Amino acid sequence: MKTRAIAQHLAGSIDISGCRQAFNGELVFGDRDELFYSNNEGYLYIFKYGIVAFLGYDDTAITQVLEELRPFCLEWRKPELTEEIEVELVAGQVQPKVGNNTVTLPESNIEAMRLTLLHLSQSVALDYFSGLSEQIMKETREHTTHLEYFGKLDLGGKKLKRHIGRVLNINNQISENLYIFDSHEVTWEDEALDRLDKSLKQTFDLKERYRTIKEQGYIIKENLSLFKDIMDHRESSRLEWIIIILILVEVMDLFIMRLIS
């Protein structure tokens, strides 16, 4: 039987605890970060970082689930970032196999389906964080260009601190929500699942895309460190001038007092 797996980015975050209490269906796996359900429609995977994945759902069922999820979503957005792959479920003890935009799985192996939806969701998450990273790179490039042409920063103290905070927040989200280099626990004692895990990572090019985002993060942090040093030097110079002016005022005051006396 051929069906499809689809992952969509819905929100900045999803309340996993609220979803767990509200959703019906067989909970195959659940923790504080993710929920994996099995029901009559197929399989549903909900992630804390705002992504939901479906296997076997038609468009009507997906729309219904999205509406049910909406109250539990922070920063809800129209699901524009989506990715899907064709899945062929085969009866019997067949080995999972990854082809060109197609995955063949034994229909009895729920963990193989979960692994497929996990990596599909990680791919969508990479698209999301890649977009954020590119935006910050663009903004940082604008500041460095201004520095090159005018010899000074166009960022004030509070504005620079907010920019640094935004970068740190995104880097923290990436570290918390993307586990590209970690082998899933279900692969530790199952060679077939281990091969599926590696094949899916290679098919979605997860490791290389993750490295690109992390490298951009390092570049941005280096630039921000330089900006901070320039700002500190500027503040230091300002304080030095204030001290010099105060000393001059004190000297002038002393000189005037002596003239009067």
For residues 53 and 44, what is the distance between their CA atoms, to the nearest angstrom?
A: 6
CB within 8 Å of 113: residues ≥ 6 apart: 5, 43, 55, 87, 105
- The values of phi and psi at residue 35, to 5°, are -135, 135
H or E stretch covering 220 = helix 206-260
pLDDT tens column, 232-248:
666 666 666 777 777 77
Assess whether 93 and 32 both reside in one domain: yes
Nearest to 123 by CA among 56, 72, 177, 191: 177
- The values of phi and psi at residue 77, to 5°, are -145, 155
Assess whether 147 and 206 both reside in one domain: yes
pLDDT at 259 over 80: no
Assess whether 81 and 153 both reside in one domain: no
User: Is position 24 within any domain?
Assistant: yes
For residues 25 and 56, what is the distance between their CA atoms, to the nearest angstrom?
A: 15
For residues 163 and 214, what is the distance between their CA atoms, to the nearest angstrom?
A: 18
* Domain end residue (candidates: 77, 108, 139): 108
For residues 256 and 32, what is the distance between their CA atoms, to the nearest angstrom?
A: 73
* Domain end residue (candidates: 47, 79, 108): 108
Higher pLDDT, 152 or 117: 117
pLDDT at 48 over 70: yes
* Domain end residue (candidates: 108, 141, 176): 108
- The answer to whether residues 111 and 96 touch, using CB atoms and an 8 Å cutoff, is no
SS percent in the chain: helix, strand, coil, step 5: 60, 20, 25
CATH number of the domain to which 63 belongs: 3.30.310
Tokens for 112, please give them: 């193989």
Assess whether 221 and 152 both reside in one domain: yes
For residues 31 and 234, what is the distance between their CA atoms, to the nearest angstrom?
A: 49
Q: In the chain, how many domains are there?
A: 2
User: Is position 76 within any domain?
Assistant: yes
Assess whether 75 and 129 both reside in one domain: no
pTM as predicted? 0.80
H or E stretch covering 240 = helix 206-260
Assess whether 67 and 138 both reside in one domain: no
Assess whether 126 and 104 both reside in one domain: no
Higher pLDDT, 5 or 25: 5
Average pLDDT over residues 157-185: 74
Return the amino acid letter for 102. Answer: T
Q: What is the mean pLDDT of the chain?
A: 84
Assess whether 88 and 132 both reside in one domain: no
Assess whether 143 and 194 both reside in one domain: yes
Average pLDDT over residues 215-220: 84
Structural domain including 77 reads: 2-108
Query: Collapsing DSSP states into helix, strand and coil, what is residue 49?
Result: coil
For residues 20 and 27, what is the distance between their CA atoms, to the nearest angstrom?
A: 9
Assess whether 130 and 67 both reside in one domain: no
pLDDT at 131 over 80: yes
User: Is position 244 within any domain?
Assistant: no
pLDDT at 122 over 80: yes
pLDDT of residue 144: 83
Average pLDDT over residues 208-215: 87
User: Is position 257 within any domain?
Assistant: no
Assess whether 198 and 148 both reside in one domain: yes
User: Is position 254 within any domain?
Assistant: no
Assess whether 80 and 138 both reside in one domain: no
pLDDT at 89 over 70: yes
H or E stretch covering 4 = strand 2-9
